[in-house]
Amino acid sequence: MRIGIPKEVKVGENRVALTPAGAAELSAAGHSVYVMRGAGNASGFADVAYQQVGASMVDSLAEVYACAELIVKVKEPQQEEFALLNHRHILFTYLHLAASRELTEMLLASGASCIAYETLVDAQGRLPLLAPMSEIAGRMAVQAGAHHLEMAQGGKGILLGGIPGVAPANVLILGGGVVGANAAAMAVGMGAQVRVMDKSIARLRQLDDLWRGRVVCEYAVQARIEELALTADLVIGSVLNAGASAPKLLGRDLIRQMGSGSVLVDVAIDQGGCFATSRPTTHQSPTYIEEGVVHYCVANIPSAVGRTATLGLTNATLSYIVRLADSGLAVLNSDAGFRAGLNIHHGQLTQAAVGYSFGIPFSDVSLALSKRQISYKK
């Protein structure tokens, strides 16, 4: 298989989809790896490191897409990449299609087969390729929230952990999954008063057993979410409906009633956001103030720690990249969890949640795969 690693062109994106060590594994297995010059620079991986393990360096996005059959990325393709994709490509990356009808339609028009990291599941039903970035995003959400509670950033002027004689900040975490659990761990470590809300009693029980009262774990009903949001200094939105748009948990009227200088961190922004006032921001301009509340809605939070994120991502994705390289799309036929990652196949939408979000017809993934298979040679 010919594997292409483009340089990420999304604003503020510092990650690269494959480390030199990952490229070495693929090269050793007989595959050809084409890396765009400078792709790894921001995360600390120089071109020479890729060359030393047998990768070929190319000068442009167009060359990467022209050389490769399997395109491995970090973030969804940008405008300048749409025309470079075609029916012979397999695209393997974070897609988050439910956040963008335009992206969905462009990828359908390309004819490519698009596999999303965030909907692929393992044998236990977990999201193994989303997990490392969720761990980072959860931890960084608290760091960002603590920073933006400072008065110079528009916040209330509250120290997250307080001091002796002065109460710490109230942190409300909506969603107890990987993001929420990591956010709770960071907030506890910084000395905050922490409350996690989730609709899974089993998950709340796990978190309660872990923290033994240090974190208050509550069942998420809308009235209680709104009640607690009004007294929170920092609210972290970490809800996830895999492949679908995030539910809106706080409306504009409620946010207007929150204390001036409170902070909302919307980790679900890459799935449309879970607050009514959320809109995507970048690391270059991460916040805005609306209804008196500071909003941090960066859509690629882990990019701020590009080296850590790249290493963690490659650790998670490499075995799947190797299997795709070895067998092409045929690997999906024997692995239902891997098959769940296929969102688009040769002009057919195969992710029901996205179809429901946009009113776009969708096909059963197994049926779509049976209609057309492409064979790849090493």
Span 271-329, pLDDT tens digits: 889 999 999 999 999 999 999 999 999 999 999 999 999 999 999 999 999 999 999 99
pLDDT in tens, 156-199: 999 999 999 999 999 999 999 999 999 999 999 999 999 999 99
Token digits for 289?
Answer: 């103030």
On the question of pLDDT at 203 being above 90, the answer is yes
Length of the chain: 378
Cα separation, 87 vs 147, whole angstroms: 45
Tell which residue, 105, 106, 109, 118, has the closest CA to residue 73: 118
Is 96 an active-site residue? Answer: yes
* Separation of CA 209 from chain center: 28
Q: How confident is the model at residue 376 (pLDDT cuts 50, 70, 90)?
A: very low
Sheet of strand 215-219: strand arrangement: 215-219, 193-198, 170-174, 234-237, 263-266, 293-296, 287-290
Cα separation, 173 vs 249, whole angstroms: 12
Three-state SS sequence of 134-173: HHHHHHHHHHHHHHHCCHHHCCCCCCCCCECCECCCEEEE
Residue type present at position 92: F
Q: How many CB atoms lie within 10 A of CB 96?
A: 24
pLDDT of residue 246: 85
For the full predicted model, state whether its pTM sits above 0.85.
Answer: yes
Q: What is the mean pLDDT of residues 47-70?
A: 98
Rg from Cα positions in the chain: 21
Cα dihedral: 38, 42, 43, 44 (round 10): 70
Whether the CB-CB separation of 6 and 73 falls below 8 Å is answered with yes
Q: Report DSSP state, residue 8.
A: P
pLDDT of residue 314: 97
C-alpha distances out from residue 13 to 42, 129, 141, 169, 269, Å: 9, 18, 17, 31, 16
pLDDT in tens, 222-272: 999 999 999 999 999 999 877 678 899 999 999 999 999 999 999 999 888
pLDDT in tens, 8-17: 999 889 999 9
Whether the CB-CB separation of 84 and 16 falls below 8 Å is answered with no
Q: Pick the catalytic residue: 148, 233, 270, 346?
A: 270
Cα separation, 25 vs 31, whole angstroms: 9
Is 147 an active-site residue? Answer: no
Token digits for 40?
Answer: 């790894």
pLDDT in tens, 335-367: 999 999 999 999 999 999 899 889 999 999 988
On the question of pLDDT at 371 being above 80, the answer is no
Token digits for 35?
Answer: 């890396």
pLDDT of residue 255: 98
On the question of pLDDT at 378 being above 70, the answer is no
Q: How open is the CA angle 5-10-177, to the nearest 5 degrees? A: 90
Token digits for 190?
Answer: 């910084």
Q: Pick the catalytic residue: 31, 96, 148, 346?
A: 96
* H or E segment to which residue 320 belongs: helix 306-327
pLDDT in tens, 295-308: 999 999 999 999 99
